[in-house]
């Protein structure tokens, strides 16, 4: 937590993300402790060119806090594949190119891992969640889930890389095959935002 002593507990936060899938997950995890305001439609997308997940979350949170005058809530998530030396990492959302779809990113991941045995397909999802006050004070939380990359997509739930990510706690099901409640209980984003929720509730 950075600048916590100057971070009064907010009653309203502005969402930095406009991704409807991510927003739905974050709202389900946070709406009982704070009122969430959608990202203003006139705020353009932020160029996420920081070298770290925390840096990208900060870029988004700062832009929304400055645009709205409210505490902003942002996150950034990376998929780290050990066989690829931690890639795609900060490039997770655009692994297959700047305009890549979920399907494009999944297809590229499976292509670059083609022929690699399961024992060498270990990976993890990492999320950095952040609240940023217009003053610049921040609260930061982290969430990680270990797992591996499946050899083919399975399941119809979730979004992004969920059809090919198998969490270690489950071992047999991809995130896309899991019930949403069960997924949130162990997911990187669930862990990060539950921690952010705890830090938020601890504020005076």
Rounded CA-CA distance 137/203 in Å is: 13
Q: Which residue bears the tokens 């601890």?
A: 202
Secondary structure letter of residue 150 according to DSSP = -
CB 97 within 8 A of CB 104: yes
Secondary structure letter of residue 61 according to DSSP = H
Give the catalytic positions in this structure.
76
Q: How many CB atoms lie within 10 A of CB 103?
A: 11
Q: Which residue bears the tokens 């645009």?
A: 67
* Residues forming a β-bridge with 76: 128
Rounded CA-CA distance 138/134 in Å is: 9
């Amino acid at each position: 937590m950075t600048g916590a002593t100057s971070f009064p507990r907010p009653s309203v936060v502005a969402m930095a993300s406009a991704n409807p899938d991510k927003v739905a997950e974050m709202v389900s995890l946070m709406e009982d402790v704070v009122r969430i305001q959608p990202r203003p439609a006139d705020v353009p997308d932020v160029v996420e060119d920081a070298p770290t997940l925390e840096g990208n979350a900060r870029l988004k949170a700062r832009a929304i806090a400055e645009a709205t005058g409210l505490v902003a809530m942002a996150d950034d998530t990376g998929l780290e594949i050990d066989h690829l030396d931690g890639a795609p990492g900060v490039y997770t959302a655009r692994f297959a190119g700047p305009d890549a779809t979920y399907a494009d990113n999944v297809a590229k991941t499976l292509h670059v891992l083609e022929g690699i045995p399961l024992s060498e397909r270990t990976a993890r999802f990492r999320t950095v969640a952040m609240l940023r006050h217009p003053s610049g004070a921040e609260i930061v939380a982290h969430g990680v889930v270990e797992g591996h990359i499946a050899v083919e997509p399975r399941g119809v739930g979730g979004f992004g890389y969920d059809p090919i990510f198998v969490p270690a706690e489950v071992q047999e099901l991809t995130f896309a095959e899991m019930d949403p409640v069960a997924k949130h209980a162990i997911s990187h984003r669930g862990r990060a935002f539950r921690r952010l929720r705890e830090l938020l509730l601890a504020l005076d």
